């Protein structure tokens, strides 16, 4: 049996847990956002979104926690692999690109679905009818 480093084993297990099992698919809906994990498709108000795999993963993670503030560190840990540089601005850039794609032609740049909570992270806004529920 080869010796191993426990931190490396832990990182590999986390990476495996982040991957889709491939067997199950789900359709998630938050307001006018719809995410089909089996088909790897996202849409807003019926308009298909052309997302990169990383943007899709960020949106999926935020949709699994609507209304909750998600820190950049949390996104790095759950969406990126263990080799991601924690001092990079990759999360900020990816969220910014995703925010623009969600706005699309709707002109929602002034009222984004993904809010920045200064010094804390990002939050996917819930539809008005779900707040406080």
Q: Model confidence over 49-78: pLDDT tens digits?
A: 999 999 999 999 999 988 899 999 899 888
User: Does 85 or 49 have the greater pLDDT score?
Assistant: 49
- The CATH topology of domain 51-124 is Arc Repressor Mutant, subunit A (1.10.10)
Please answer whether residues 49 and 43 qualify as being in contact, where contact means their C-beta atoms are separated by less than 8 angstroms. yes
CA distance 72 to 78: 10
Number of other residues whose CB lies within 10 A of the CB of residue 14:
13
Query: Looking at the predicted structure, is the pLDDT value of residue 131 above 50?
Result: no
- pLDDT band at residue 108 under the 50/70/90 scheme: low
Return the DSSP state at 106: G
End-to-end Cα distance, the chain: 53
**Which own/partner contact pairs does 21-26 have at CB distance under 8 Å and 24+ positions apart?**
none
Q: Model confidence over 2-17: pLDDT tens digits?
A: 666 777 777 777 766 6
Q: Delimit the domains of the chain by residue range.
A: 51-124
Return the DSSP state at 110: G
> pLDDT exceeding 90 applies to what percent of the chain?
40
Residue 67 gets the label, from left (phi > 0), alpha (psi -120 to 50) or beta, of left
0.85 surpassed by pTM: no
pLDDT at position 103 is 87
Q: Model confidence over 25-51: pLDDT tens digits?
A: 788 898 889 999 889 999 999 999 999
Query: Looking at the predicted structure, is the pLDDT value of residue 21 above 60?
Result: no
């Amino acid at each position: 049996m080869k010796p191993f480093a426990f931190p490396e084993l832990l990182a590999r297990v986390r990476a495996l847990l982040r991957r889709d099992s491939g067997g199950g698919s789900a359709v998630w809906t938050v307001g006018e956002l719809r995410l089909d994990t089996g088909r790897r498709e996202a849409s807003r108000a019926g308009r298909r979104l052309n997302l990169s795999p990383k943007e899709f993963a960020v949106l999926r993670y935020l949709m699994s926690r609507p209304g909750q503030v998600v820190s950049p560190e949390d996104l790095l840990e759950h969406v990126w692999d263990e080799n991601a540089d924690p001092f990079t601005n990759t999360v900020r850039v990816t969220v910014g690109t995703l925010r623009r794609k969600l706005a699309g032609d709707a002109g929602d740049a002034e009222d984004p679905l993904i809010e920045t909570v200064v010094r804390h992270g990002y939050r996917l806004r819930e539809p008005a009818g779900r707040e406080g529920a």
